Amino acid sequence: MVDSTVETGITKSLFTSNVRLPVILHVDDDPLVLQATKRYFQQSRYHLLSAQSGYEALCILL
């Protein structure tokens, strides 16, 4: 696993293994909702990226 930090301080994980998981980008300004969503998807076959604003989401995507 390789970590790269985005300008806003968000860390996103880039997996270098042959297994590719579907990616979900979840954007919400409520930290409790982000935390609950993260817990929900930890046991799933998805890689969850979270952002607290539209700007942070764009930084993740670009």
What's the pLDDT tens digit per position in 16-48? 455 688 999 999 999 999 999 999 888 888 889
Look at residue 1 in the predicted model and tell me its pLDDT: 34
pLDDT at 4 over 90: no
Which domain range does residue 27 map to?
2-61
Alpha carbon distance 22, 59 (integer Å): 19
For the chain, the domain total comes to: 1
Is the C-alpha dihedral spanning 42, 48, 53, 55 positive or negative? positive
Look at residue 58 in the predicted model and tell me its pLDDT: 96
Q: What is the pTM of this model?
A: 0.62
